[in-house]
Structure 1
Amino acid sequence: MIYEIAEITIHPGTNAAFEAAVGEAVPLFRRAKGCLSMRLDRTIERPDTYRLVIGWETLEHHTVDFRGSADFQAWRGLVGGFFAEPPKVEHTENAVSGF
């Protein structure tokens, strides 16, 4: 499994509306080819910063299939106006499983 981790900084004071918009977008990810999981975490020390963590079967399911889809455009339409700066996106894979 590949994890997409997007660090998203939003405009101050828009947390509730942003979180609601991400909740509205859940079905877009649920039906995306190769999408296995999705969650949004808020950073405690910087409450206007979030991490969107999405599990994909393969890197291409994110970078080709989802990013090339109408659902990606719908996702950006729902949340893009909240972004204070472009999201920083990285992909990870498990190196060591502890417990």
Structure 2
Amino acid sequence: MITEHAILTVKAGQSRAFVAAMREAEPLIAATPGFLGIEVLPCIETPDRFLLLVRWESVEAHEQGFRGSERYLRWKALLHSFYEPFPLVQHYGPSLLAEPVTSRQ
């Protein structure tokens, strides 16, 4: 499993419209073979900033599978006009820890 990561900075005042567009776009990415899950987290300190985390079976599932699909064209049309600047998208490998660390209270 890999995780796609991007900081999405939305143009000022457009967060509500962005969230609505993201909800409309979510089924497009979810329909991709190799898709495992998505999170879009709002930044607490910076309004109009979001953390996008998408879990994939492989980089190829994202790069060739989703980005090579007709669904991606619709995704772009729904979302790409919101970003300023355009986000850097990177992929991260599996955790280096055997199991996720949680609170030890």
Q: Is the shorter-chain TM-score for this pair beyond 0.5, marking a shared fold?
A: yes
User: Higher Cα Rg: structure 1 or 2?
Assistant: 2
User: Normalization by structure 2: what TM-score?
Assistant: 0.89
Name the aligned partner's letter for residue 50 of structure 2. Answer: Y
CA RMSD of aligned residues (A): 1.0
- Tell me the equivalent position of 1:50: 50
User: Normalization by structure 1: what TM-score?
Assistant: 0.94
- Tell me the equivalent position of 1:98: 101
* Secondary structure of 2:55 counterpart: strand
Tell me which stretches of 4 or more aligned residues in structure 1 moved more than 6 Å. Answer: none
Query: Number of aligned pairs?
Result: 99
Q: Shift in Å at residue 83 of structure 1?
A: 0.9
Between Structure 1 and Structure 2, the one with more strand by share is 1
Where does 1:1-99 land on structure 2 (aligned, <5 Å)?
1-93=1-93, 94-96=95-97, 97-99=100-102
Q: Shift in Å at residue 72 of structure 1?
A: 1.0
Ranges in structure 1 where 5+ consecutive residues have no aligned partner: none
